[in-house]
Amino acid sequence: MKILVIHGPNLHLLGRREPEIYGGATLDEIDAELRRLAAAEGIGIEIVQSNHEGEIVERIGAASASFDSILINPAAYTHTSVAIRDAILAATIPAVEVHLSNIYAREEFRRTSLIAPVAAGQVSGFGAMSYYLGFRAAAALARGRSHAAG
């Protein structure tokens, strides 16, 4: 069983980027905790960060071959990317959408997620904990899939 984690644009700046909104944890710290959670659950994990929409689309497109679920923070692409939405729709594995900030409590343009309607679910507003809660969901979905596959 294996989960693909995708961090979208600018998330490599975590810790330095608007810490009052996104918190003080760095992406390396979040990734280390995700790896720890995965190891504890006996689940494989691969983590990518990309600032490029096309690369994210390609990663999602290739994911079904080797992964059982996707944990994704699409960052700014949440609000703009029909291409990432379509890639998730086309993938035959479930995706869990996460956000550090509560996107519904921020600027108007952040209150629409093009991804949410095609995600299995969304976790938003708990800082780094959004990832850890989202990981639990992605692991449960991956487990459900591998049972379904026998």
Residues at the site binding ligand DQA, with contacts judged by CB under 6 A? 10, 73, 75-76, 78, 99-101, 103, 110
> What is the smallest separation between the CB atom of 118 and ligand DQA, expressed in angstroms?
16
Q: Compare residues 69 and 122 and give the one whose CB is closer to ligand DQA.
A: 122
Q: Compare residues 21 and 39 and give the one whose CB is closer to ligand DQA.
A: 21
> What is the smallest separation between the CB atom of 138 and ligand DQA, expressed in angstroms?
16
Q: Compare residues 76 and 116 and give the one whose CB is closer to ligand DQA.
A: 76
> What is the smallest separation between the CB atom of 97 and ligand DQA, expressed in angstroms?
9
> What is the smallest separation between the CB atom of 76 and ligand DQA, expressed in angstroms?
4
Q: Compare residues 59 and 99 and give the one whose CB is closer to ligand DQA.
A: 99
With contact defined as beta carbons under 8 Å apart, do 56 and 50 qualify? yes
Which residues carry out catalysis?
Answer: 22, 99
Q: Three-class SS string for the chain?
A: CEEEEEECCCHHHCCCCCHHHHCCCCHHHHHHHHHHHHHHHCCEEEEEECCCHHHHHHHHHHHCCCCCEEEEECHHHHHCCHHHHHHHHHCCCCEEEEECCCHHHCCHHHCCCCCHHHCCEEEECCCHHHHHHHHHHHHHHHHHHHHHCC
Q: What one-letter code names the amino acid at 58?
A: E
